[in-house]
Amino acid sequence: MTPHLRLYFGKHASRRCVECMSDTTAVLTSSEGDTTARISYRPSRSTVNLGLAALVDQSVFSLGNFASTVIVGKFAGDTELGIYALAMATVYLATAFQRALVAAPYTVQVQRLTGERRSERRGSALVQVLIVTTILCLLVATLRAVGLVQLGDFRVSALLLVALTASWGLRDFWRRILFADLRFGEALALDGLVVGAQLSLLAYYTSNQLLSATTALQAVIWPSAISSLAFFLFRRRQFRISATRLSSDFRASWRYGRWSTLTEGIFAGQELAIQALLAASSSFATTGVYAACMSIVKLTNPLVYAIGNLVGPRTAQTLHQEGPRKLATGVNRVAWFVAASMAAYLVVVFVAGGLMMEMLYGSAYADKHWLLVILSLAAAFTALGMAPAKGISAMEKPQLNLIANATGFAVVIVAAWLSFPAYGVYGVATSILAGAAICCLCKWVLFRAFLVRYPRASEGV
């Protein structure tokens, strides 16, 4: 539980005069409910402990995805891995839209709210996510019926894709709710249970020779669905649905989310477009090779995503409480830490990338060393762009992230389409690298340009 600091001044003071705004700030309110002062106090948990909890949670989450990919590729074959990867990429795209429309605005905007109003904002987010998830499920079913059905051996049914979209999306939502409140320990406990159940189901299917892309997706669906149901059941009192607040909260989410939706959609849509291009132009086996390399690239996800999960709420808090100068300092520190971490990873991949591929997927993948190196360099540029992207989000200028991601996406799609016939999957990987580098540069330029224009009246409050 987050501690509350309560102060009383005189007999006319409001009994709710001070409420906890976050782990670092309390807000003094008058009897009319107006904010009259902001008081900082030492947090109950240090930033280091929060960062460690975020890292462990993201490690568990990424381990589940990584281990699932390896198990399917090793015991079911390239084709089944390609089908599994394409289905998951479709769901990642749908979840990205949901996150951008609901979770991203919530994470930034809830930092300014306290007490009952915070619960109402959380309840509004729940209503929003249920509506968005329903719409996305219908869109995914339609996509399966009119689009993906033409991609050769893609055998995943529309019903399975809908179940996967709903369960994965709701799981992502409760994770974002906990992240916004900096409750990484609780997220770790739930993610640990989900990953344990998912890997146990995969082990069962493998031992009984039942493993396929379809059964692997079922192993993802059931734990995610059950954990989501349990979360909302036990947390139902923290979601206050106010009919008078729904409309205004919807508008606030839309003002922010319309831009971040396109941004997240472009980011996730690139992965789906690349895998669809490989599957349509070559084979699902080629898609499987690409997915195998990306599974090793995603070994950096625990660190990068953990930093992002922590930095997202923290940057919003820093900007509102300490001003843009402190925000710039924090973004720079995060960028240097990410750069050092990714440099260490790149050294490992450069030296032992081929050996890693062979150990995980067999001797047939040993010659994919340079493909892995190229994709890893692209991941490094993407990670370096995370810090300014979070700073831009904190300033509530998501359209700037859209500009950067759209530029990078255009480079990737055009270059991949032109290079694939001559250079195959290596041409696609090089296109991804070029797009990631340009996108990273755009984010830094835009962050610096608009930071100097941000109002500084709140500094020192």
Is the CB of residue 178 less than 8 Å from the CB of residue 234?
Answer: no
CA 415, CA 407: separation in Å to the nearest integer? 12
Higher pLDDT, residue 286 or 11:
286
CA 301, CA 55: separation in Å to the nearest integer? 10
pLDDT at res. 154? 63
HEC assignment per residue over the chain: CCCCCCCCCCCCCCCCCEEECCCCEEEEECCCCCEEEEEECCCCCCHHHHHHHHHHHHHHHHHHHHHHHHHHHHHHCHHHHHHHHHHHHHHHHHHHHHHHHHHHHHHHHHHHCCHHHHHHHHHHHHHHHHHHHHHHHHHHHHHHHHCHHHCCCCCCCHHHHHHHHHHHHHHHHHHHHHHHCCCHHHHHHHHHHHHHHHHHHHHHHHHCCCCCHHHHHHHHHHHHHHHHHHHHHHCHHHCCCCHHHHHHHHHHHHHHHHHHHHHHHHHHHHHHHHHHHHHHHCCHHHHHHHHHHHHHHHHHHHHHHHHHHHHHHHHHHHHHHHCHHHHHHHHHHHHHHHHHHHHHHHHHHHHHHHHHHHHHHCHHHHHHHHHHHHHHHHHHHHHHCHHHHHHHHHCCCHHHHHHHHHHHHHHHHHHHHHHHHHHHHHHHHHHHHHHHHHHHHHHHHHHHHHHCCCCCCCCCC
The mean pLDDT value for 199-203 works out to 96
Relative orientation angle of helices 184-207 and 213-234, to the nearest 10 degrees: 150
CA 148, CA 276: separation in Å to the nearest integer? 9
pLDDT at res. 381? 94
List pLDDT tens digits, range 221-264. Answer: 999 999 999 999 999 999 999 999 999 999 999 988 888 788 77
CA 75, CA 58: separation in Å to the nearest integer? 26
pLDDT greater than 70 at residue 39 = no
Q: Longest Cα pair distance anywhere in the chain, in angstroms?
A: 80
pLDDT greater than 80 at residue 192 = yes
Strands laid side by side in the 25-29 sheet? 18-20, 25-29, 35-40
Is the CB of residue 100 less than 8 Å from the CB of residue 173?
Answer: no
**Amino acid identity at 194:** V
pLDDT greater than 60 at residue 69 = yes
pLDDT greater than 90 at residue 393 = no
pLDDT at res. 153? 59
CA 29, CA 32: separation in Å to the nearest integer? 8
- Categorize the per-residue pLDDT at 16 as very low, low, confident or very high, splitting at 50, 70 and 90: very low
pLDDT greater than 90 at residue 457 = no
What percentage of residues in the chain have a pLDDT greater than 70?
Answer: 85
pLDDT greater than 80 at residue 26 = no
For residue 162, the cross-strand partners are none
CA 279, CA 350: separation in Å to the nearest integer? 27
Residue 441: exposed, middle, or buried by beta-carbon count in 10 A (0-12, 13-18, 19+)? middle
List pLDDT tens digits, range 345-391. Answer: 999 999 888 888 888 787 777 778 888 999 999 999 999 999 999 88
pLDDT greater than 50 at residue 124 = yes
Q: How many CB atoms lie within 10 A of CB 368?
A: 22
pLDDT at res. 52? 84
The mean pLDDT value for 398-412 works out to 90
Higher pLDDT, residue 27 or 333:
333
Is the CB of residue 435 less than 8 Å from the CB of residue 416?
Answer: no
Whole-number Cα distances in Å, 158 to 145, 162, 403: 7, 6, 33
pLDDT greater than 50 at residue 10 = no
Cα-based angle 409, 153, 201 (whole degrees, multiple of 5) = 90
Q: Residue 27 — φ and ψ, nearest 5°?
A: -120, 130
pLDDT at res. 5? 36
pLDDT at res. 267? 72
CA 165, CA 258: separation in Å to the nearest integer? 21
CA 76, CA 353: separation in Å to the nearest integer? 23
Backbone conformation region of residue 424, classed left if phi is above 0, alpha if psi is from -120 to 50, else beta: left
pLDDT at res. 23? 40
pLDDT greater than 60 at residue 17 = no
Domain boundaries of the chain, sorted by first residue: 1-44, 47-451
Higher pLDDT, residue 72 or 21:
72
Whose CA is closest to 182, among 86, 329, 43, 387? 43
Whose CA is closest to 451, among 408, 397, 376, 387? 397
Is the CB of residue 135 less than 8 Å from the CB of residue 193?
Answer: no
Chain Cα centroid distance, residue 52: 18
